[in-house]
Amino acid sequence: MRIVRVKKPVTKDSIFRLYSDTKPFTGAAAMILAEEGLLNLNDPVSKYLPSFKNPLVVQHTRVRQGPPEISNTLPARREITIRDCLANTTGLATFRKAPHWMTSKFKKIHR
């Protein structure tokens, strides 16, 4: 339905508001580049952003009570690929999506 409260149906010329517009446009651009052979979806992100080379993952230890403790960082099994970025499966934590116990520890890791 285009307008739900008045049950107005979607038509060929309906206009929709897109939220977080960059995702569909970036994805479409990446697919065009891949079709033209200019981008390989299995390339590591580090090919384009060298700081992503040799990624680390956080190892945490469960404690009896309270939040887990970050005990160490380890080398990741593999690098993040362009495909991972497009599928939102990079494993990168953000302050909005990471658990509070983890974000409160970031300052200790990055000092």
Q: Which residues of the chain have pLDDT under 50?
A: 111
Residue holding tokens 């700081």? 51
The whole-chain average pLDDT of the chain stands at 81
- Among 17, 72, 85, 8, CA closest to 46: 85
The pLDDT value recorded for residue 97 is 66
The pLDDT value recorded for residue 62 is 66
